[in-house]
Amino acid sequence: MQQPSAVHDTFVIERHFQKTPEKVFAALSEPAKRRRWFAEGDHHDVEEFQSDFRVGGVELLRYRFKADAPGPVAGMTLTNESRIQDIVPGRRIVTASAMSLGDTRISASLVTLELLANENGTDLICTHQGTFFEGAGDPKMREAGWRTLLDKLASELSE
């Protein structure tokens, strides 16, 4: 039997922030704040970041991995292009995106970020539904990446 050409994976990450849903939503949606936690990183240089935060708007992130990047990606370019599918201010953001490494499309995904107010701040539920193509690596790497991103979001919110 031939191996499937796509691997499907869904994961859910829940985080709590001691900030109001409005403050968490601002960090998720305002381009300067979003760039700091979502785009910037120690192992790559951002070459392009655009954010048109509205339903139907596009977010484009392109970065080049540095020579000291872990794994076989040193010097390669990663591009993530997302289209915003739904926005409910202070409550929900849904994006559909495609990711490429160099000229090779490696995945497509739907990401839903839900914000739930509680007496101590905000619970965030991140649901990632992905299809990973040849060359995408293990889908668990994407979950680890989102966990790191949400750690960076927590740092952004602590400032």
Phi, psi of 71 (to 5 degrees): 80, -165
In 3-state terms, what secondary structure has residue 50? strand
Instruction: Look at residue 70 and tell me whether its pLDDT is greater than 90.
Output: no
In the block, tokens 């701040």 appear at 121
Q: Which segment of 2-6, 22-26, 57-61, 102-106 scores lowest on mean pLDDT?
A: 2-6
The candidate with the shortest Cα–Cα distance to 97, out of 115, 87, 112, 75, is 112
**Angle at CA 66, nearest 5°, toward 7 and 26?**
70
What is the average pLDDT score of the chain?
A: 94
Residues with Cβ within 8 Å of 93's Cβ and at least 6 positions away in sequence, in order, are 25, 28, 29, 84, 86, 87, 112, 113
* R_g over Cα of the chain: 16
Phi, psi of 158 (to 5 degrees): -85, -10
For the segment 15-25, what is each residue's pLDDT rounded down to a tens digit?
Answer: 999 999 999 99
CATH class of domain segment(s) 6-158: alpha beta
Burial class (CB in 10 A: 0-12, 13-18, 19+), 15: middle
CB atoms within 10 A of CB 3: 6
Domain ranges of the chain: 6-158
pLDDT for the residue 29: 97
Phi, psi of 116 (to 5 degrees): -120, 120
With a pLDDT cut of 70, the percent of the chain lying above it is 97
